[in-house]
Chain A
Amino acid sequence: MTAQTIAAGGVELAGVALAPLVVGGVQWLKARAQGRRGASALQPYRELRRLWGRAGVRPEPSSGVYALAVPVAVAATFLALLLLPIASIAPDWGLGNDALVLFGLLAVGRFALAAAAWDTGSGFELMGAARDLTIAVFVEALFLVVLALLAFPAHSTDLVAMSGAAASGEAWREPAQWAAALGLGLVILAEAGRRPIDNPDTHLELTMVHEGPTLEYAGRDLALLHWAAAARTWAVLVLAAEVLLPHPGAFAVQLLWLAGWIVVFVVLLALAETIQPKMRLLRVPVLLYGGAVIAMLGLAGRLLGVAA
């Protein structure tokens, strides 16, 4: 194992610590953009510390499913971080580096929290879980079309190979890549639970999507769930920076590219949240369909040999 793979593994693990910073950064920048002072970007860490010291609750009725859901969701999200390519390489944890498996591991948390929602029988939790699973139907279909575009240069769904093929940025000469960028952007918004698909700041039960299933949790469970949500955002952002965006150069330069793209994403997310209100739930599929149609057009464009 070379020093570079060790460093890449280190960055993968550092994601565990860095993920809340991304969420905090978006919140801070959003507040600034909206003319408020806002909490510091480190606020999520303080929240995690505060929640870690609190006692939990045990809703009536609930069984082991409610208690087990959080560790399963957190473990699956952590495994997803280990599948990410960093600067076009990844250490061999023996877990593979497949794009669909990564997406599947992110879905495990959705399953676990939906099961916990049924366990407590809470209407608001179930409402959020049902919406989350419903939106996932369209997101998964969209992701597959986007993957069909992004996997073409490497002829592989191996994330390391895809990342290597995307490094030079050659693919951006084709309209297919632009279509893929649009589609992947929508996937990021949905997976990270951001506006216009979901509002991470909502405190009204009736409007919650991702926040809904966390409603019955408190204390350490809630802290873990907050971390898992941040880690999911981190995972999709790193994924986009590696397999979609150009990052040429040597290993160290590629790491700088990665950091730069993450900062760009934070700015973009903050701006999008500032100018874009949440969409009506029933209109979300139209948005995602639209993304899938454009991605399909990108595919058709490639077949016809259209070049930008």
Chain B
Amino acid sequence: MTATGAAACAGAGLVAAGGLGALTGRVRASLTAQGIGVGLTAVAALVVFAGGAPVGAAFRSGVHPAFGLDALSGFFLLVLCVVALPALAYARAALPVGGRSVALAALTAAFVLAMAGLVAARDITTFLACWELMTLVPAAAMLVARQDEEVRRAVMVYVGITHVAAVGVWATMLILSAHGVLGGAPLGPGGLQSFVLVAALVGFLTKAGIAPLHVWLPRAHPVAPSHISALMSGVMIMLGIYGLSRVLFLWLTAVPTWVGVVLVGLGSLSALVGVLYALVQRELKRLLAFSSIEHAGIVVLGIGAALLLGSAGQPQWAAIAFAGAMLQILNHAAFKGALFLGAGAVADAAGTLQVDRMGGLLRRMPVTGGAIGLAALAIAGLPLLNGFVSEWIGLQALLRLPVEETDGLALVGAFGAATLAATAGLAALCFVGVAGLMLLGHARSPEAGAAREPAPGVRGAVAFLAALCLVLAVLAGVLVPRLAQLGPGSWSGSAALGLDLPGTGSLPTPLLLLALAVLTALVTLARGRRRAAPAPVWVSGQQDDSPLAWTLAGFTKPLRLMVDGVLRTRRDTVTTSSAGIVEAVRFRGDVPHLFDTHLFEPLLRLASRAASVARRMQSGSLRAYLGYLMVLVFVLLLLLRLEILS
């Protein structure tokens, strides 16, 4: 075994030992051990990703468990470690001693191991086992952390939907394994390939939270403990993309064009649905969950672009589009991890997750607040930060279709690019509002006014991920050429200081950032330190009091009015008057999630009606069951007799 393999195994062993050790009650020691284990694994993952030889077994068709890492697995393992390390540091500082923390620490280890096992699995047994564990372990963590009605319903929906969709994953993997695809030649076009494609799209995209199968995500992510939410959102949903990438680019060949068109369509839908519903949320973690749907959509747009560019005979740009999608995954892990951990820290410090009841947190908690602000700007796609870089690659990849092609694909590309640009604009509106409300201005509740900087572990975890947003923006020129080698197509770009992609005007982020910083300093100097008179803000000469303070709903009002035809806001105004004098006016407005009310709830009603019919058959009496058996035998005999079964 190579040193890299040994490091990965030792890391996994330490995480497992830490998880078991938690059961003895020493939560902090357990989380420390897990953290060291994740750190070791991260080194191994980085070596394999950066170009080291694959370690362990290669993919095989049998059912005997096997583990190994190739470059793509190494990349996803690295994404896992990037989130897991600060998540563990956060948990170590934030979890109270004893009680539920014991179970949570053990479950955290199990969750990390399940995800690491999935990317390292080299046979279907391990793959499917880890896939199921990855779904079930966070469900258990949610139930351990909270035990009210809301969380039970959320877990029910989450487990239900992901399990129904897991049928697609099982079907995909079993067929591919049975046909020897995993160990040998990729599957060519044909009826079987189409079936595998549909199954894989349903199975893996549900896990990725792609609309219209996303309704579990905004329920499940907010109720999990914050460090589990960060892992679920930053890593778990993107492992759906990992599975899909393997199927599309490594296990199948000559994938038909319609798959690319479907992916661009679903990606656009998810990106828009995710960000539009994020805009109308008031609770921070639910808002972040919707934003995860948006980002999964952006990644799927990139994967779709890679497929279309590949089939259009542009291998160079197919590789770059894929690299852009992968970079988006890494970027999303960094800023979404920072925001979920930051949300946990703020919830503890300010006692609320309602964004309209925070305010002024940058002054109260400069490190955590500053880190949340940086991550929010990165996720909003502020130019030159990492979110902008990967969206820029995505936009350029989609634009490549109308710029080079003169068939229907050009329209698909232009449509995808326009949607992605609108998504970026909406994300800017959403996260500038969120960051402004949380961090700037007056404190909007007494609890927010008394917020304190959290423990060093929590601060450090959030700050680490936020700093990563800046580092990833600078390193994009190094990462993209490497990432382009992991998927379809081929691009001979080499690592450079900036992103210089063919057919674009290049994006040299380090120089642009440097120039921006220097110029900002120069302008500040030129402005000089002049007398500035303190003055109240202009509110038309009135008293500035809190009822006039802006909310997120106010900030997004112009947009909500413009797209009201899509959102269909419910508004209720109740006016109480007596003797012709209005005494009170009460207003209630909310935006229902149309996928819930029009798609999911009808399906749920249908399912529970079917369940109640099935329940009537389960009388519990032995005679009835014997009767069922007899009917079954009779029917089977009849079918044999009629030669339908042979």
Contacts and interface: CB of A to CB of B under 8 A. Distances in A.
Q: Are both chains from one complex?
A: yes
Contacts of B440: 63, 65, 115, 118-119, 121
A: interface residue count bin:
35 or more
Interface string B197-219: 00000000000000000000000
Interface string B385-423: 000100010011001001110111011011101111110
Contacts of A122: 537-539
B377 A296 contact: no
B505 A58 contact: no
Contacts of A55: 530-533
Nearest to A57: B535
Contact of A160 (B429, B442, B505): B505
A78 B426 CA distance: 25
Contacts of A141: 418-419, 421-422, 425
Contact of B508 (A96, A121, A224): A96
A26 interface: no
Contact of B503 (A142, A156, A224): A156
Given A58-B532, A61-B441, A100-B392, A159 B505 contact: yes
Interface stretch (B298-306, B460-468, B551-559): B551-559
A248 interface: no
Given A104-B392, A118-B440, A140-B425, A300 B411 contact: yes
A104 B421 contact: no
Given A105-B383, A120-B537, A282-B561, A148 B403 contact: yes
Contacts of B561: 282
Given A123-B548, A158-B503, A299-B410, A220 B528 contact: yes
Contacts of A221: 527
B549 interface: yes
B557 A205 contact: no
B535 A60 contact: yes
Interface in A165-199: none
A263 interface: no
Interface in B508-546: 508, 511-512, 515-516, 519-524, 527-528, 530-540, 544
A101 B363 contact: no
Interface residues of B, number: 87
A205 B396 CA distance: 39
A295 to B, nearest CB: 8
A97 B410 CA distance: 24
A152 B377 CA distance: 32
Contacts of B437: 118
Contact of A215 (B392, B511, B533, B538): B538
A7 interface: no
Interface stretch (A17-25, A31-39, A42-50, A130-138): A130-138
Nearest to A53: B530
A123 B550 contact: yes
A157 B503 contact: yes
Given A59-B537, A137-B429, A140-B425, A79 B519 contact: yes
B382 A144 contact: no
Contact of A130 (B396, B435, B557): B557
B504 A144 contact: no
A302 B3 CA distance: 57
Nearest to A82: B515
Given A79-B515, A115-B432, A134 B562 contact: yes
**Is chain B's binding surface mostly helix, strand, loop or mixed?**
helix
B523 A71 contact: yes
B346 interface: no
Contacts of B426: 137
Contacts of B411: 296, 299-300, 303
A219 to B, nearest CB: 7
Contacts of B439: 118
A200 to B, nearest CB: 19
Contacts of A144: 395, 399, 414, 417-418, 420-421
A75 B436 contact: no
Nearest to B559: A134
B424 A140 contact: yes
A148 B395 CA distance: 10
A156 B403 CA distance: 7
A290 interface: no
Q: Of residues A68, A121, A151, A155, which shows the largest number of chain B Cβ atoms within 10 Å of its Cβ?
A: A121
A251 interface: no
A111 B508 contact: no
A140 B429 CA distance: 13
5 contacts: A100-B395, A119-B440, A145-B414, A148-B403, A156-B505
What 6 pairs across the A-B complex have the smallest Cβ distances? A118-B436, A98-B505, A137-B425, A104-B383, A75-B519, A96-B506
Interface of B: 360, 362-363, 377, 380, 382-384, 388, 392, 395-396, 399, 402-404, 406-408, 410-411, 413-415, 417-422, 424-426, 428-429, 432-433, 435-437, 439-442, 498, 500, 503-508, 511-512, 515-516, 519-524, 527-528, 530-540, 544, 548-550, 554-559, 561-562
Given A60-B537, A76-B383, A136-B428, 13 more contacts: A96-B512, A108-B383, A115-B435, A117-B436, A122-B537, A123-B539, A130-B556, A131-B558, A134-B562, A140-B421, A140-B424, A219-B530, A303-B410
